[in-house]
Structure 1
Amino acid sequence: MKIGKVPPDILQKSVYPFLGTKRNEVLVHSGLGEDCSIIDFGSQVAVISCDPITGADNHSGWLSVFVSCNDIAACGAKPIGILTTVLLPQGSTQGELTAIMKGIHEAAKSIKIEVLGGHSEVTAAVTKPVICTTAMGVAKKDAFVTSSGAKPGDDVIVTKAIGLEGTAILATDFENFLIDKIPESQIKTAQKFIHKISVISDGLVAAKAGVSAMHDITEGGLLGACCEIAQASGVGIKIYKESIPILPETISICEAFKINPLGLISSGSMLICTPDGNRVLSSLKSMDIPATIIGTITQKDKYIVSNGSKIPIVLPERDELYCAIEYVSKN
């Protein structure tokens, strides 16, 4: 298998048949396109998600908090805490562990959640720090959102701009590679995108406004998120390429690495499906959250409309971030 997410066909054969005993308390079980499981606790539900950080070197502690807490917000739930596992390679220093934990601490403080516990160890099993975070949140039982509720006719909305996380990682970890390829001002601006990757407000505001489904745009970028929400909901999706918000820094950096921004990891942007796009846009705008209607949910087929042509949306084999890292290693 290639670096990146395990492909859906392998998950179906090698993972999903082996998930223990289904419990009646679990309202939303593990499945393709669903990033969270949801557990019944009477009038409320507990929402749980788990994600690793493997593609970033700098700011990995900070990123680890948001990649899992953003999934919680995509369910319309409020994150309350995380459990964090930190695996360090042999030879790591105390200072490196401290830097990771400071990043986790600052991110947790910024969204008012607690680090509830976890595990740390030094192991020969990894060659760089690996962080895995399990996030927990709460929502009212009659108000949680899933990835599987999108319906034909729904408007499809993207918040902020795509590629924020991937752009920040590449601008930070590969600044020396970029310095003679794009303006230094763009590199510095892109590095600051790391502070834009939370979609917690996006998810909570949109959920109150009325949505059918939401999905945090992470590995696989917009293309991956479209495929996952369509598969989970049993629908199609039509996206207008010219409507997709992409910042100039993301365009420049993707061109420098020769990668497709539509397939770049995009924490910081939420994919929202709703029967009333203008209402959701208005609610987001009232909280100073930029958002754009980029398409609609259809009965079947997944495609992007560009200059009048239909381009099929295919689940990326791997995130463009890994393609960029590979490109640097060869050049």
Structure 2
Amino acid sequence: MQKQPDKAIQLSHGGGGQEMNKLIKSLFFKAFDNPLLCREEDAAALMLSGQCAFTTDAFTVSPLFFAGGNIGKLAIAGTVNDLAMMAAKPEYLAASFIIEEGFALADLRTIVESMAAELAVSGARIVCGDTKVVPRGCADGVFITTTGVGHIQHQGISSHALTAGDAVLISRDIGRHGAAILMGREGLELDSELTSDCATLWPAVKALLDAGLEIHAMRDATRGGLAAVLNEWSQASGVGIDVQEQAIPVADPVRGLCELYGFEPYDLANEGTFVIALPAHQAQQALTALQALPCCPDAAVIGQVSGANPGKVILTSPWGSSRYLELPAGELLPRIC
């Protein structure tokens, strides 16, 4: 009887022998094909010049597949976005997989192919990696760690560089990723097609850089959401930040989920949304550059940097009342990335 092809990951796929070699060649090398990776050395030999940004992140999102993406797309976008926020062109990535015995090979293939598709958005390449298989019950399907290197295209962008009078912009509506994960985890079915904002931000950052803007700070609003970014910036730069609640774009399904579960959209995670601080006289130019992109039609100016209330973020309601927008406390929604 002819042996049937493997349909699930076995411990032997991490053992360093024939099965592992076949998995790596037929899946990872095929999806991430490039000369540096396919040399099969112990380490990739890179040609680096100038100042580079270097970052790493681990991904344990649950569920692995969610509306708008999966753990693979998230792993690439998350690491590429960390580089982009430093105005670094993403170039080289490493990817490490911890896979649970019994994980469906078809699902792993879908994850890897989504990673390859997301890499194409920025032009980055996976040039090295590692694969481990652990016994059933020792992981939750698959965990991925990605590390990235990119060349910095514009100097001086930092959370310490905000200046009183800067405008604060958001690239799109907030809270989508956290809401999509909550919806998938709770099995909710809404009368809307809410999807995560999970996406690579390098094209949007490149558009801002190409416009010659004097960007002071950029940060993707991941765990802790918009509230975390603004509080981290105000404390790092020793400034106050005044934000207009009415100016912050929030999709109706996200707002509805927040009301249902008692969350604030400012605290929910995003995976394709970033915050920008730059001189106020360049705000309109930045909006024009962002709104020309399919991923940023809702880009908006949401506030300004102030010399008053250093280290604090003030949120003003549509009715004129104000309150502190605090740094989120506790674990709102675990394993969102």
Structure 1 CA distance for aligned equivalents of residues 331 and 246 of structure 2: 22
- Which one-letter code corresponds to 1:147 in the other structure? S
Query: Which residue does the alignment assign to 1:32?
Result: none
Query: Which residue does the alignment assign to 1:201?
Result: 203
1:143 corresponds, among 151, 155, 163, to 155
Structure 2 CA distance for aligned equivalents of residues 248 and 100 of structure 1: 29
Q: What pairs with 1:234-313 in structure 2 (closer than 5 Å)?
A: 234-275=238-279, 276-287=282-293, 289-290=296-297, 291-299=299-307, 300=310, 301-306=312-317, 307-313=319-325
Structure 2 CA distance for aligned equivalents of residues 212 and 260 of structure 1: 27
Structure 2 CA distance for aligned equivalents of residues 254 and 286 of structure 1: 29
List gaps (5 residues or longer) in structure 2: 1-47
8 Å CA contact 1:75–1:203 kept in 2: the answer is no
> Higher mean Cα deviation, 310-319 or 274-283?
310-319
Query: Which residue does the alignment assign to 1:45?
Result: 51
| Distance verdict in 2 for CA 1:126–1:87, change over 3 Å | same
Query: Which residue does the alignment assign to 2:145?
Result: 132
Q: If the length of structure 2 is used for normalisation, what is the TM-score?
A: 0.73
Q: Using the TM superposition, give the Cα deviation of residue 66 of structure 1 relative to its aligned residue in structure 2, in angstroms.
A: 0.7
Q: Using the TM superposition, give the Cα deviation of residue 123 of structure 1 relative to its aligned residue in structure 2, in angstroms.
A: 2.7
2:334 corresponds, among 308, 315, 322, to 322
1:159 corresponds, among 164, 171, 190, to 171
Q: Using the TM superposition, give the Cα deviation of residue 269 of structure 1 relative to its aligned residue in structure 2, in angstroms.
A: 1.2
8 Å CA contact 2:121–2:200 kept in 1: the answer is no
Structure 2 CA distance for aligned equivalents of residues 255 and 88 of structure 1: 37
Structure exhibiting the larger radius of gyration computed from Cα positions: 2
> Higher mean Cα deviation, 113-122 or 163-172?
163-172
Q: Using the TM superposition, give the Cα deviation of residue 103 of structure 1 relative to its aligned residue in structure 2, in angstroms.
A: 2.1
Percent identity (aligned): 24
Once the two structures are superposed, residues 65-124 of structure 1 have per-residue CA deviations (whole angstroms, 9 ceiling, x without a partner) of: 111111111112211131111112343343343232222112112332211222121235
8 Å CA contact 1:203–1:270 kept in 2: the answer is no
Once the two structures are superposed, residues 198-233 of structure 1 have per-residue CA deviations (whole angstroms, 9 ceiling, x without a partner) of: 322222222432211111110001111111222232
RMSD: 2.4
- Which one-letter code corresponds to 2:316 in the other structure? V
SS in 2 for 1:72: helix
8 Å CA contact 1:159–1:269 kept in 2: the answer is yes
SS in 2 for 1:147: coil
- Which one-letter code corresponds to 2:203 in the other structure? S
Query: Which residue does the alignment assign to 1:37?
Result: none
- Which one-letter code corresponds to 2:124 in the other structure? I
Tell me if 1:75 matches 2:81.
no
Query: Which residue does the alignment assign to 1:168?
Result: 180
> Higher mean Cα deviation, 238-247 or 302-311?
302-311
8 Å CA contact 1:81–1:116 kept in 2: the answer is yes
Q: Using the TM superposition, give the Cα deviation of residue 60 of structure 1 relative to its aligned residue in structure 2, in angstroms.
A: 0.6
Structure 2 CA distance for aligned equivalents of residues 253 and 79 of structure 1: 34
> Higher mean Cα deviation, 148-157 or 163-172?
163-172
| Distance verdict in 2 for CA 1:119–1:317, change over 3 Å | farther
Once the two structures are superposed, residues 29-54 of structure 1 have per-residue CA deviations (whole angstroms, 9 ceiling, x without a partner) of: xxxxxxxxxxxx66x32111222222
Structure 2 CA distance for aligned equivalents of residues 279 and 109 of structure 1: 27
Q: Using the TM superposition, give the Cα deviation of residue 145 of structure 1 relative to its aligned residue in structure 2, in angstroms.
A: 2.0
SS in 1 for 2:55: strand
Q: Using the TM superposition, give the Cα deviation of residue 173 of structure 1 relative to its aligned residue in structure 2, in angstroms.
A: 4.2
Q: Using the TM superposition, give the Cα deviation of residue 155 of structure 1 relative to its aligned residue in structure 2, in angstroms.
A: 0.5
Equivalenced residues, count: 272
Query: Which residue does the alignment assign to 1:34?
Result: none
Query: Which residue does the alignment assign to 1:120?
Result: 131
Structure 2 CA distance for aligned equivalents of residues 255 and 103 of structure 1: 33
List gaps (5 residues or longer) in structure 1: 1-40, 325-331
8 Å CA contact 1:215–1:229 kept in 2: the answer is no
8 Å CA contact 2:314–2:325 kept in 1: the answer is yes
Query: Which residue does the alignment assign to 1:18?
Result: none
Q: If the length of structure 1 is used for normalisation, what is the TM-score?
A: 0.74
Structure 2 CA distance for aligned equivalents of residues 315 and 163 of structure 1: 15
Query: Which residue does the alignment assign to 1:218?
Result: 222
